[in-house]
Structure 1
């Protein structure tokens, strides 16, 4: 059963609650979205981009026995507000309200409320887990790095691809484009830090979510992870161009609870199958085609096995060959 819900006193939050078959006491999963103006399903306003990622993930989690909740971010779906004006800590408070709603729901076992967070949502979940008791945390396509670190690595990967091009690469090296790009990014961040406004205009016309950048830049993810005392799973694809796989090796030494890491072969940032080579520069052209593909079956199998072992009291199913799983 799936129904529309509203929660939060000062700023009502709208979402969809799905209940599995059977009576109360179910474990529950809250889905936390990635960056941008994404609604409860993972879609942008006016249908410009429709991923339906969180709708599909919620359907999967409910099918294996979990209550699920997904909600509209500020300024999306049925929600009031402006997503550009929302800071990182505003997003954390929204997620906290959602956890509290689940913990108080009669069909939910309050001790088994798990957060499944995607992309930027992994940072929101990290901040939430440092101050809120959670049953478990799933990092999807992210984890450990804060936003500034992740964006810096994305720029570096893009520059590396450009510099490897035979003719263009030589020209870019000659013009010292990579160094200039980093200086430009640092200058913009400094402008955000100096401002006290939620939104800042760049080049007179382009609005930027300055508060969001400031708060993310100041947040120390590694220190926050040290306060997380629950089972943690970090799941990422080897074709993910937006998140660093290698840095996840730090996770077991940071969190207090048991941590596992699963790197899924041929999976991209949106958890779908990608057989093409890893390329940041080509990711935009491939985006619409990849959205037609299913969620990666090995990723779903890994999630089901981990959830069954930790929250359903079932024997872990034999895992597919995934490289690597570290605990």
Structure 2
């Protein structure tokens, strides 16, 4: 372990200034780098929601782990979070991809970074953004954390299916839910709302009079073909997901080796949830809200960290080689 030599706030991007945190390993030298791309919602560079509404520190902990292994790391605020101006809900998928591209370019210009070994690590929605970024520019590697292969609409459909199946499995209420066809009604409602987003040209629309929704974000995600984008990716790819993840589909990761040009692998970690922490309780989307605060107290899953460390060491640290560029 290298240890963290320095951590500092940085600002980059000409038009829409992006605030982030750059962490450097201890000691002089040029290092490979990892860019962290956050999941959906108003998450700042550390994985938190402002004013103490939600504190996960997921990306802060991951950055500390990666920097300790010997990587420069960069994490940054999404629009309207942390120190950054803007409205996170008005940002479309391609706005977020543009932010990630700007961040990669910032790393490329850093004298402490090996430009040929810049890895993008996306979490949740960040796996889709990393996929889109990998299609548009060469990357030294890609890590999918709690996601990968499918697009947003497929992931949301799987979430609704899991929720409906749990409701139908209830001993007494299950028969009632089946009688009123709760699964089909859920899909019909989702389809109706998505159609409203597609017909709109606004960044944000209101549904049920009061509730604002990121229409531009949904439209752009719905039009993006993740599998086609993956076919152009020739850098090493690693996907890590938990078997207790209620938000991402584990089964689709089996498609990864047949999609990407470069070498790829995926790992399904036993007793790990969507936020990469330990969860020994059963998989349940209906109980996830009640468990959330308790799970946040738990450490990042050691088996997942071990998998990441082994893959990074093999591909980017062993013999200090530089041959992997996608």
Provide the TM-score with structure 2 as the length reference: 0.96
| Distance of 2:150 and 2:180 partners within structure 1 | 30
Structure 1 position 228 matched with structure 2 position 233: yes
Determine the C-alpha separation between the residues in 1 that align with 2:68 and 2:216.
38
Distance 2:146 2:72 in 1: 22
CA contact (8 A) 1:141 1:240 kept: yes
Residue in structure 1 matched with residue 184 of structure 2 by the alignment: 179
Deviation at 1:314, TM superposition (A): 5.2
The aligned runs of 1:280-291 (5 Å cut-off) are 280-291=285-296
Secondary structure in structure 2 of the residue aligned to 1:44:
coil
Per-residue displacement from partner, 1:166-206 (whole Å, max 9, x unpaired)? 11110011111111111010000000000000000011111
For residues 305 and 291 of structure 2, the distance between their equivalents in structure 1, rounded to whole angstroms, comes to 22
Q: Which residue of 2 aligns with 1:118?
A: 123
Runs of 4+ in structure 1 off by over 3 angstroms are: none
Matched position secondary structure for 2:10:
strand
Say whether residues 1:303 and 2:272 are aligned partners: no
Cross-structure match for 1:272:
277
In the aligned structure 2, how far is the partner of 1:86 from the partner of 1:152? 22
1:21 CA displacement: 1.3
**Cα distance between partner residues in 2 of 1:145 and 1:236:** 13
- 1:11 pairs with one of 10, 16, 27: 16
CA contact (8 A) 1:29 1:116 kept: yes
Distance 2:124 2:266 in 1: 15
Mapped pair 1:2 → 2:7: yes
Q: Is the 8 A contact 1:308 1:314 kept in 2?
A: no
1:106 aligns with 2:111: yes
Alpha-carbon shift at residue 24 of structure 1 (Å): 2.7
Q: How many aligned residue pairs are there?
A: 315
The whole-number CA distance in structure 2 between the counterparts of 1:176 and 1:63 is: 51
Unaligned segments of structure 2, at least 5 residues: 1-5, 321-326
Equivalent residue runs for 1:185-200 within 5 Å: 185-200=190-205
SS at match of 2:298: coil
For the residues of structure 2 that align with 1:121 and 1:47, how far apart are their CA atoms? Answer: 23
* Residue 75 (structure 1) aligned with residue 75 (structure 2): no
CA deviations on 1:226-249 (whole Å, 9 max, x unpaired) are 011100000001111111111000
Distance 2:29 2:220 in 1: 38
2:42 equivalent among 30, 37, 40: 37
After superposing the two structures, state which structure 1 stretch, 18-27 or 57-66, moved more.
Answer: 18-27
User: What is the distance in 1 between the residues matched to 2:319 and 2:302?
Assistant: 20
| 1:242 aligned onto 2:247 | yes
2:287 aligns to what SS in structure 1? helix
Cross-structure match for 1:64: 69
Summarize deviations over 1:142-181 as a string: whole Å, max 9, x none: 0001000000000000000000001111001111111111
SS at match of 1:40: coil
Q: CA–CA distance in 1 between the matches of 2:29 and 2:197?
A: 47
Q: Does 1:161 align with 2:182?
A: no
- Aligned mates of 1:152, 1:76 — CA distance in 2: 28
Alignment match, 1:52: 57
CA distance in 2, matches of 1:277, 1:58: 29
Give yes or no for the alignment of 1:147 onto 2:152. yes
2:298 to 272, 286, 293: 293
In structure 2, distance between residues paired with 1:300 and 1:167: 41
* CA displacement at 1:47 relative to structure 2: 1.1
Structure 1: segments with no counterpart, 5+ residues: 316-327
For 2:234 and 2:204, locate their aligned partners in 1 and report how far apart those are by CA, in whole Å.
Answer: 35
SS in 2 for 1:313: helix
